[in-house]
Amino acid sequence: MKESDFGFKKYNKEEHSSKVKDVFNKVANKYDLMNDVMSLGMQRLWKKEFIESINPSKDKNLIFIDLAGGTGDITKRILSKYKKNTAVKVIDINQEMLKEGKNSFKSHDNIDFICSSGESISITDNYADVVTVSFGIRNMTDREKCLQECHRILKPGGVFACLEFSLPKDIILRNLYDAWSYGVIPKFGKLIVGEEKPYKYLIDSIRTFPSNEEFNEMVRDAGFINTSIRQLTGNIVCIYRGEKE
Ligand SMILES: C[S@@+](CC[C@H](N)C(=O)[O-])C[C@H]1O[C@@H](n2cnc3c(N)ncnc32)[C@H](O)[C@@H]1O
């Protein structure tokens, strides 16, 4: 049976999925705050760049799927940039994360929150103009399947945009990054959320995620064309983009 990485450990699909759910159940109510703390606020800049990089072929009447959308942070940014008749479906496997998201939106007019797995998305074929996955694909049990699903639900010409953690190539930055990740982040987890373990998983999972080139190859294998890689902040994070033919 195929196993999936859970940090440095490997589990079968069912165990992996339930362990990931457990992680996000634990962090849901402090998720946005912890993101700012862990990234020293940088996540705001990365997400801003990410939204700018989507660059769809039109700017009105767009249908977005914010996959692994969690608390809806990316959705807020999408709606603020693409105001004109934009609709967003926030899809996430975790009800607790979606609940936090629903509570943070004043009006839900053009937003739907859907609890669904990224490996079997409950959306029809050729539906969306854009699929975003921000800091989510790393946690998927079957990333290849998720990429195929993203391709399936996009309209021809639609854009797939993925923001994910990566690893600095510069040795000095890498050492600083490791020291911050392993030495400081779990302690903030303990202080703010009362738990260190979920953060250890999140840190380890960055180290077992494919390299930029390997992941870009997976995006291409799922059928996307015109793929690109954009490294930010010395490759602490990376934006992957592709289009459906
Ligand atoms: C790190 S959060 C990212 C949230 C948001 N996109 C952001 O950028 O702030 C990862 C999200 O992926 C979701 N997730 C994990 N595995 C998933 C799966 N198989 N299908 C759908 N969502 C999943 C988690 O529940 C969690 O909400």
Number of domains in the chain: 1
The residue to mutate among 38, 66, 88, 92, having the most atoms of ligand 1 within 8 angstroms of its beta carbon, is 92
Question: In the predicted model, is pLDDT for residue 109 greater than 80?
Answer: no
State how far the Cα of 216 lies from the Cα of 194, in Å rounded to an integer.
Answer: 36
User: Which stretches of the chain are DSSP H helices?
Assistant: 13-27, 31-39, 42-54, 73-81, 95-104, 143-153, 171-183, 185-192, 197-208, 212-221
Q: How high is the pLDDT of residue 15? A: 87
Question: Distances from the Cα of 137 to the Cαs of 119, 151, 165, in angstroms?
Answer: 10, 14, 10
Q: How high is the pLDDT of residue 85? A: 86
CATH number at residue 172: 3.40.50.150
Binning pLDDT at 50, 70 and 90, where does residue 108 land? Answer: low
Q: Which of 2-6, 32-36, 218-222 has the highest mean pLDDT?
A: 218-222
Answer positive or negative: Cα dihedral of 178, 207, 49, 47: negative
Q: What is the mean pLDDT of residues 100-122?
A: 90
> pLDDT tens across 190-199, in order?
999 999 999 9
Angle (nearest 5°) at CA 206 between 203 and 71: 75
Q: Which protein residue's CA is at the shortest distance from atom 14 of ligand 1?
A: 68
Q: Quick one: tokens of 84?
A: 């004109």
Q: How far, in Å, from the CA of 117 to the mean position of ligand 1?
A: 10
Q: How high is the pLDDT of residue 6? A: 84
Q: Quick one: tokens of 229?
A: 């890689």
Amino acid occupying residue 208: T
Question: In the predicted model, is pLDDT for residue 232 greater than 80?
Answer: yes
Higher-scoring residue by pLDDT: 16, 122: 122
Using only the alpha carbons of the chain, give its radius of gyration. 17
Residues with Cβ within 8 Å of 225's Cβ and at least 6 positions away in sequence, in order, are 242, 243, 244, 245
Residues with CB under 6 A from ligand 1: 20, 24, 68-70, 73-74, 92-94, 97, 117-119, 134-136, 139-141
Binning pLDDT at 50, 70 and 90, where does residue 243 land? Answer: very high
Q: State the residue range of the domain holding 72.
A: 3-243
Q: What is the mean pLDDT of residues 102-108?
A: 81
Q: How high is the pLDDT of residue 13? A: 84
Strand order across the 225-232 sheet: 111-115, 87-92, 63-67, 128-134, 154-165, 237-243, 225-232
State how far the Cα of 101 lies from the Cα of 167, in Å rounded to an integer.
Answer: 29
Angle (nearest 5°) at CA 223 between 111 and 209: 75
Q: How high is the pLDDT of residue 215? A: 98
102 — phi, psi (to 5°)?
-55, -40
Q: What is the mean pLDDT of residues 110-131?
A: 96
State how far the Cα of 130 lies from the Cα of 74, in Å rounded to an integer.
Answer: 13
Q: What is the mean pLDDT of residues 127-132?
A: 98
Binning pLDDT at 50, 70 and 90, where does residue 118 land? Answer: very high
Question: In the predicted model, is pLDDT for residue 1 greater than 70?
Answer: no
Question: In the predicted model, is pLDDT for residue 244 greater than 80?
Answer: yes
